[in-house]
Chain A
């Protein structure tokens, strides 16, 4: 008689395996018996199945106490009990990817055979990856070790109507199983542990919790991780956007929110007004209804929170920063916070760079700009205006300071030859904006044409209106879709009745009978150029050429950096860094080095420069660690969230605002019982980062999760069955399942 014990899991084919093996013997004329031991087990619970085969009729119906061999259907079922009663020469056949030698410590002296039945079954589509059905594979493996012909195995499969992949799988396992007697002395096989003491119904100590460690059922475990929120990933300044929005959403803590922003950016009020908001572009909520209005939340925080006290320098080293635009000021701020003495050198007569000269006050009020600059300078910064730094001066700086950061922006303004009249009538938009803000230029009654499609073009056009222009047209050689200006700026300009001439290129200015006109060429879009945008080509038709009456032409055609400041042979590397050709390290950043074109990018650039400088001077690396994968829309379970339109920020009507430099956008306005920024912040999904919504915990069918600290959750793996519902219900990609 041969007796086999099978250790399996409920609902996964362990009893069928016993029946299959029995069938192989039955077809060879033996008497056989196959059965399972049943209890309250459910899917996944450990069970035993038994098989007997004999030449004589089998009349023994008791459970098998001393098996000739055992089969362990899943490696997680291995334990000392497997040896119970096993005869000394018995095989222990284990479904595992490991080799028999791996069990030398746990099963010394035993004959151990292994086969990766999971892999074989999954490869042929039997069961699922979570629950592969391995019994037909194990039949093959057992058949080999029991010295059956594969034909016997095949016949059993056919008899029990297991066709298709089952035969392939059995064959693969039959061939793949390896076994050997392990070294060492076999431990005496213990009898299977008896059940606990008998407790009578009226005995006192009854009714406690069953100590069935259902954690042994699991083939996967939940785990938690953080992903990079899409908004954070999109922010060129490296702001923890999710962080400051959630500080408002979770605790209405505007001060904490401000502190989060100030870790990376000193310009919440500025960015909250002028940033193109790539964070909002990336915001996953966009796929659900509308993106979270991060920009106005940031503005609100800046306007309402209590700003902290500036810190004072603590180190000896002094660092020079050339250029007081956003990159220079950002570097200044971060260096000062790291404790350095910073000297800020500005060629112009006011600190602020293009934020002051190039962005009109109806977009960025002066008091906001001044407040945030002042905050930076009060960190013990020495600021000097009217300090033009050329190459020689730069080299001198490298002898006087421990490090130098060059962020002189884009001094070179692209121009266009419009003919002889240009000198009087044509002005660079950037220069115009600077003049206008000082009150030095009026265009009363003039017809103004602005050439260009970026923010400078929009600023120039809208400023022209405000300094008296009769009408303003923006002429752009591609379409609106290709204009790099912020969409809202274009919208607001159009609302202010600025006309947009798309697919028009300027040719030349000249006088005709009525006055000065700008001759223009209608264009169409052809093949893409090196920037990837479709190249405009002239339209060939009779009315392709036409004339615009104008009194003034403003150019906003793009800018580039004046690299003459840099020493000969130097190069801007990685967009931001120079070779150490000088006594002290020199770094470059902002538009000067990257031409990125936004305040926010410049902030990031300045901060990285500060961290580079700090690392060079101290060897301390304060750069953020490599980011986690980004939580895109596929990581978010949108269905959990109801639809909620964004809070509408207030704006001054076009007819009123076009005549003055008062701030056009008023941001989120509170009403009694309605905190606007808070309501908007509630729309944030907190992508990829836990915000303690407790969904995972409340949807756990076993109740084995604990919320035991700030964003700290624990799982009781003694009982977790690995069902994966916590992972399926986490709306933001934090909880996930790991294979064991």
Chain B
């Protein structure tokens, strides 16, 4: 247990507003922290209920009797957050309480252990905003691989580089025909906030995915967290787009010629012979061919969502 230092009196409790309060134990430069700030900004003061499974997000809360979350928050078991959120959101609906129910989950809980629960909640079109902050590892337990870890990346359980590709969670969510699915960038605040607002106005299961910079897991500088995501978006590795009803696509930000190196060089996890940059570039091209094709064949309507 952490022993208090003498200048941190643990017997004074101060209430204050906001979803994520200062004094939380997240690492400096944590993408999830920034995501929570943007969530708050995008909800325009409305308080959600948070359902957070075992992940960094719930450790953020800190230790009882204090909590870094300023809104009602349920710590769920690892696989259960969409199920717990279902229960909360149903009762909210029965009692006409408009506040949104938000699952705030890491990639481990989304792509892996919670996949079945996620699929079921999506299939039932539960009235939940599901946000996955994806740092591409099991960050909370020290950096083991998840199915969100990209190909070739070394983690504590893939010393020779991961031999499988990153799972296409957006494709999976689209296949569930959820009303709204979108990728979010912590380097593109205005787009991020717009999508929170779009999600807020949509009914049914909404899936939001953000690539969450993790200085500890990625071995990058905290100060570069936002710029790394900007590079990820700019080089096309993390496309920013929306999918409506699982079939209509809208690309929000296209690659701008940023070199892949600008994203990879800043993270020691990518400094490895197991990484094949040409392979990554080929993947990016293939990914964009698909997205461009989908947008062309099944474009979103001009007024869908909340276009800028």
Within 8 Å by CB, do A and B touch in the complex? yes
Give the interface of A toward B (CB within 8 A): 11, 37, 39-48, 79-81, 128, 130, 190, 192-197, 199, 201, 203, 205-214, 216-218, 639, 695, 698-704, 716, 718-719, 721-725, 727-729, 737
Taking a contact as CB atoms under 8 Å apart, the answer to whether A42 and B18 are in contact is: no
B223 beta carbon closer than 8 Å to chain A: yes
Could you say which residues of chain A place their CB within 8 Å of the CB of B15?
Answer: 207-209
Mask, B154-197, CB within 8 Å of A = 1, is 00000000000000000000000000000000000100000000
Interface size on B, residues (CB 8 A): 57
Taking a contact as CB atoms under 8 Å apart, the answer to whether B223 and A737 are in contact is: yes
Taking a contact as CB atoms under 8 Å apart, the answer to whether B7 and A79 are in contact is: yes
Taking a contact as CB atoms under 8 Å apart, the answer to whether A725 and B223 are in contact is: yes
Taking a contact as CB atoms under 8 Å apart, the answer to whether A209 and B8 are in contact is: no
* Cα–Cα, bound, A201→B75 (Å): 14
Taking a contact as CB atoms under 8 Å apart, the answer to whether A210 and B224 are in contact is: no
Additional 10 contacts, C-beta under 8 A, given A193-B3, A212-B8: A39-B63, A40-B62, A79-B6, A196-B10, A201-B64, A700-B37, A701-B29, A703-B20, A725-B34, A728-B224
In the complex, how many angstroms separate the beta carbon of B287 from the nearest chain A beta carbon? 22
Could you say which residues of chain A place their CB within 8 Å of the CB of B77?
Answer: none
Interface positions, chain B 1-31, Cβ under 8 Å from A, are 1-16, 18, 20-31
What are 6 of the A-B contact pairs (CB < 8 Å)? A195-B1, A211-B13, A212-B62, A213-B23, A218-B28, A702-B22
In the complex, how many angstroms separate the beta carbon of A81 from the nearest chain B beta carbon? 4
Taking a contact as CB atoms under 8 Å apart, the answer to whether B3 and A195 are in contact is: yes
* Cα–Cα, bound, A695→B2 (Å): 35
Could you say which residues of chain B place their CB within 8 Å of the CB of A211?
Answer: 8-10, 12-14, 23, 66
Selected from A208, A639, A700, the residue in CB contact (under 8 A) with B66 is: A208
* Cα–Cα, bound, A193→B7 (Å): 10
Taking a contact as CB atoms under 8 Å apart, the answer to whether B3 and A699 are in contact is: no
Taking a contact as CB atoms under 8 Å apart, the answer to whether B33 and A701 are in contact is: yes
Taking a contact as CB atoms under 8 Å apart, the answer to whether A728 and B27 are in contact is: no
In the complex, how many angstroms separate the beta carbon of A5 from the nearest chain B beta carbon? 10
Contact A214:B24 (CB < 8 A) given known A193-B4, A209-B15, A698-B41: yes
In the complex, how many angstroms separate the beta carbon of B148 from the nearest chain A beta carbon? 20
B267 beta carbon closer than 8 Å to chain A: no
Taking a contact as CB atoms under 8 Å apart, the answer to whether B23 and A42 are in contact is: no
Taking a contact as CB atoms under 8 Å apart, the answer to whether A701 and B10 are in contact is: no
* Cα–Cα, bound, A659→B25 (Å): 75
Give the interface of B toward A (CB within 8 A): 1-16, 18, 20-31, 33-34, 37-38, 40-41, 56, 59, 62-68, 70, 189, 215-216, 221-227, 230, 234
* Cα–Cα, bound, A698→B186 (Å): 11
Taking a contact as CB atoms under 8 Å apart, the answer to whether B24 and A217 are in contact is: no
Taking a contact as CB atoms under 8 Å apart, the answer to whether B29 and A724 are in contact is: yes
* Cα–Cα, bound, A727→B222 (Å): 11
Taking a contact as CB atoms under 8 Å apart, the answer to whether A728 and B216 are in contact is: no
* Cα–Cα, bound, A48→B33 (Å): 25
- Name the prevailing secondary structure of the A interface residues: loop
In the complex, how many angstroms separate the beta carbon of B253 from the nearest chain A beta carbon? 12
Taking a contact as CB atoms under 8 Å apart, the answer to whether B25 and A42 are in contact is: yes
In the complex, how many angstroms separate the beta carbon of A6 from the nearest chain B beta carbon? 13
Taking a contact as CB atoms under 8 Å apart, the answer to whether B29 and A214 are in contact is: no
Could you say which residues of chain A place their CB within 8 Å of the CB of B65?
Answer: 199, 203, 205-208
* Cα–Cα, bound, A238→B166 (Å): 57
Could you say which residues of chain A place their CB within 8 Å of the CB of B22?
Answer: 209, 214, 702-704, 716, 718-719
In the complex, how many angstroms separate the beta carbon of A595 from the nearest chain B beta carbon? 46
Could you say which residues of chain A place their CB within 8 Å of the CB of B216?
Answer: 11, 42-43
* Cα–Cα, bound, A43→B27 (Å): 5
Selected from A40, A81, A727, A729, the residue in CB contact (under 8 A) with B25 is: A40
Could you say which residues of chain B place their CB within 8 Å of the CB of A722?
Answer: 28, 222
- Name the prevailing secondary structure of the B interface residues: loop
**Among the interface residues B8, B18, B215, B230, which one has the most CB atoms of the partner chain A within 10 A?**
B8
Selected from A210, A699, A701, the residue in CB contact (under 8 A) with B62 is: A210
**Among the interface residues A79, A80, A206, A210, which one has the most CB atoms of the partner chain B within 10 A?**
A210
Taking a contact as CB atoms under 8 Å apart, the answer to whether B62 and A698 are in contact is: no
* Cα–Cα, bound, A40→B4 (Å): 12
In the complex, how many angstroms separate the beta carbon of B47 from the nearest chain A beta carbon? 14
Contact A210:B23 (CB < 8 A) given known A39-B2, A218-B28, A723-B223: yes
* Cα–Cα, bound, A702→B31 (Å): 11
Selected from B13, B34, B189, the residue in CB contact (under 8 A) with A208 is: B13
In the complex, how many angstroms separate the beta carbon of A61 from the nearest chain B beta carbon? 14
* Cα–Cα, bound, A725→B23 (Å): 17
Selected from A208, A639, A723, the residue in CB contact (under 8 A) with B28 is: A723
In the complex, how many angstroms separate the beta carbon of B191 from the nearest chain A beta carbon? 13
* Cα–Cα, bound, A312→B95 (Å): 74
Contact A698:B189 (CB < 8 A) given known A210-B62, A703-B22: yes
In the complex, how many angstroms separate the beta carbon of A646 from the nearest chain B beta carbon? 21
Taking a contact as CB atoms under 8 Å apart, the answer to whether B33 and A702 are in contact is: yes
Taking a contact as CB atoms under 8 Å apart, the answer to whether A724 and B1 are in contact is: no
**Closest Cβ neighbor of A48 among chain B residues:** B3
Taking a contact as CB atoms under 8 Å apart, the answer to whether A727 and B16 are in contact is: no
Could you say which residues of chain A place their CB within 8 Å of the CB of B14?
Answer: 208-209, 211
* Cα–Cα, bound, A698→B38 (Å): 8
Could you say which residues of chain B place their CB within 8 Å of the CB of A725?
Answer: 29, 34, 222-223, 225-226
The 5 A-B residue pairs whose C-beta atoms are closest, nearest first, are A208-B13, A724-B223, A39-B2, A196-B10, A719-B22
Taking a contact as CB atoms under 8 Å apart, the answer to whether A701 and B23 are in contact is: no
Taking a contact as CB atoms under 8 Å apart, the answer to whether B37 and A698 are in contact is: yes
Selected from A206, A704, A729, the residue in CB contact (under 8 A) with B226 is: A729
Could you say which residues of chain B place their CB within 8 Å of the CB of A193?
Answer: 3-6
Taking a contact as CB atoms under 8 Å apart, the answer to whether B26 and A210 are in contact is: no
**Among the interface residues B37, B40, B216, B222, which one has the most CB atoms of the partner chain A within 10 A?**
B222
Selected from B28, B64, B223, the residue in CB contact (under 8 A) with A44 is: B28
Contact A724:B3 (CB < 8 A) given known A701-B29, A703-B18: no
Selected from A42, A700, A737, the residue in CB contact (under 8 A) with B27 is: A42
* Cα–Cα, bound, A42→B26 (Å): 6
Could you say which residues of chain A place their CB within 8 Å of the CB of B25?
Answer: 40-42, 45, 210, 212, 214
* Cα–Cα, bound, A37→B56 (Å): 18
Could you say which residues of chain A place their CB within 8 Å of the CB of B24?
Answer: 210, 212, 214, 702
Could you say which residues of chain B place their CB within 8 Å of the CB of A719?
Answer: 22-23
Taking a contact as CB atoms under 8 Å apart, the answer to whether A192 and B62 are in contact is: no
In the complex, how many angstroms separate the beta carbon of B221 from the nearest chain A beta carbon? 7
Taking a contact as CB atoms under 8 Å apart, the answer to whether B225 and A723 are in contact is: yes
In the complex, how many angstroms separate the beta carbon of B16 from the nearest chain A beta carbon? 5
Taking a contact as CB atoms under 8 Å apart, the answer to whether A40 and B66 are in contact is: no
* Cα–Cα, bound, A718→B26 (Å): 15
Taking a contact as CB atoms under 8 Å apart, the answer to whether A213 and B189 are in contact is: no
**Closest Cβ neighbor of B193 among chain A residues:** A698
In the complex, how many angstroms separate the beta carbon of B87 from the nearest chain A beta carbon? 20
Selected from A79, A130, A701, A727, the residue in CB contact (under 8 A) with B34 is: A701
Taking a contact as CB atoms under 8 Å apart, the answer to whether B37 and A703 are in contact is: yes
Taking a contact as CB atoms under 8 Å apart, the answer to whether B37 and A40 are in contact is: no
**Closest Cβ neighbor of A39 among chain B residues:** B2
**Among the interface residues A39, A194, A209, which one has the most CB atoms of the partner chain B within 10 A?**
A209
* Cα–Cα, bound, A205→B66 (Å): 10
* Cα–Cα, bound, A311→B34 (Å): 53
In the complex, how many angstroms separate the beta carbon of A325 from the nearest chain B beta carbon? 50
* Cα–Cα, bound, A137→B216 (Å): 22
Taking a contact as CB atoms under 8 Å apart, the answer to whether B4 and A699 are in contact is: no
**Closest Cβ neighbor of A737 among chain B residues:** B223
* Cα–Cα, bound, A205→B224 (Å): 39
In the complex, how many angstroms separate the beta carbon of B36 from the nearest chain A beta carbon? 8
Could you say which residues of chain A place their CB within 8 Å of the CB of B34?
Answer: 699, 701, 725
* Cα–Cα, bound, A303→B242 (Å): 48
Contact A130:B12 (CB < 8 A) given known A79-B5, A81-B5, A195-B4: no
**Closest Cβ neighbor of B223 among chain A residues:** A724
* Cα–Cα, bound, A216→B14 (Å): 19
Could you say which residues of chain B place their CB within 8 Å of the CB of A729?
Answer: 226
Taking a contact as CB atoms under 8 Å apart, the answer to whether B10 and A727 are in contact is: no
* Cα–Cα, bound, A318→B234 (Å): 64
* Cα–Cα, bound, A294→B59 (Å): 53
Could you say which residues of chain B place their CB within 8 Å of the CB of A190?
Answer: 6
